[in-house]
Amino acid sequence: MGLPVFHLRPRLIRALQGELLAVFAPLGWLAIQTFRGGSPLDILTQQADLFAYMLLGSLLAFGTFGWLLGKEQERLAQLATIDELTGLANTRHFRQRMSEFAHLSQRQGRPMSLLLVDLDRFKGINDTYGHQVGDMALKTAAEVIRSAVRRCDIAARIGGEEFALLLPDTGASEASHVAKRILRAFSQATVMTGDGREVVLSASIGVSGGVPSGQEATEDIFEDADKALYRAKAEGRGRMVMA
């Protein structure tokens, strides 16, 4: 059994790196004083306050700078994986995590499920009420989907009005319950226009699930869910279809 792996946030790593670098400032000053003919022990004894001031000041300055640098690094990393409009994962992050989930599911022999959620008649919303209302509809849809996920699930926006929900360690039956819960939430979801009109939202959902097999596992899971979504659209929208 291996040792546990601890993952440190970039801001903490950068702060620790800053603290390490900070030590060299007072040590450099001590080296210069020693080079000029002084004894390191005498210098530390006679100018202990100055050395302590330089050490603490350097630790504070370098540590703070490292923490701020790490915080910005985290922000940029998050932007690379998040859809800016909805705050859900973007397509790139979704594809990466789906591959990871599939490999884990294969190795453990446990099921995973995928829900593809598509807003119904979204083009009509944009054409009738404008893109601002369309953006509000997408944000509302994202909130509906986000409310249905667990901490271990991945909710993503993978297209204009298309969303995906990855459910690890979840069979098709459980996934169908999640889909129905999302549909019920959509039945109560509305968007208000600037002139007070209410736009009612609805969505169609395709569901696939099981234990992936073969090298093309992720493609097969996605294709099955996509076909189920197409059937949900063809059968009248506002419904869920299992692959």
pLDDT digit string (tens) for 63-80?
888 888 777 766 666 666
pLDDT of residue 170: 92
Q: How many residues does the chain have?
A: 243
H or E element that contains 177: helix 172-186
Mean pLDDT, range 12-24, rounded to an integer: 82
pLDDT of residue 6: 42
What local confidence, expressed as pLDDT, does residue 4 receive? Answer: 40
Instruction: Give the chain's end-to-end CA distance (angstroms, integer).
Output: 39
Task: Give which of 111, 184, 174, 112 is closest to 145, Cα–Cα.
Answer: 184
Report pLDDT for 104: 87
The phi and psi torsions of 82 (rounded to 5 degrees) equal -115, 140
- Residue 243 CB neighbour total at 10 angstroms: 21
Residues 6+ apart with CB under 8 A from 161: 118, 119, 122, 137, 138, 141
Task: Look up residue 231 and give its two tokens.
Answer: 């059937």
By the 8 A CB rule, do 71 and 12 touch?
Answer: no
pTM higher than 0.75, yes or no? no
Residue partners of 241: CB distance under 8 A and separation at least 6: 204, 205, 206, 207, 228, 229, 231, 232, 235
For residue range 90-109, what is the model confidence (pLDDT) as tens digits? Answer: 998 898 888 888 888 888 88
Query: Residue 226 is encoded by which pair of tokens?
Result: 């996509």
Tokens describing residue 150: 């667990």
Q: Which of 100, 161, 198, 223 is catalytic?
A: 161
Tell me the percentage of the chain whose pLDDT exceeds 70: 92
CA distance 107 to 134: 41
Nearest alpha carbon to residue 100 among 212, 225, 235? 212
Does the annotation count 161 as an active-site position? yes
Q: Are the CB atoms for 186 and 164 separated by under 8 Å?
A: no
- Of residues 131 and 37, which shows the higher confidence score? 131
Are the C-beta atoms of residues 47 and 32 closer than 8 Å to each other? Answer: no
CB 55 within 8 A of CB 23: yes
For the chain, percent of residues with pLDDT exceeding 90: 46
Q: What H or E segment, with its residue span, contains residue 235?
A: none
Say whether pLDDT at 7 is over 70. no
- Out of 78-87, 95-104, 202-211, the most confident range is 202-211
User: How far are the Cα atoms of 26, 107, 124, 161 from residue 166, in angstroms, in the given order?
Assistant: 52, 17, 28, 17
Q: Please tell me which residue, 220 or 185, carries the higher pLDDT value.
A: 185
**Residue at token pair 């915080």:** 71
Whether residue 5 is predicted with pLDDT greater than 60 in this model: the reply is no
Looking at residue 74, its pLDDT comes to 67
pLDDT (tens digit, 9 = 90+) per residue, 117-159?
Answer: 999 999 999 999 999 999 999 999 999 999 888 889 999 999 8
Going by C-beta distance under 8 Å and a sequence separation of 6 or more, which residues neighbour residue 9?
A: 70, 74
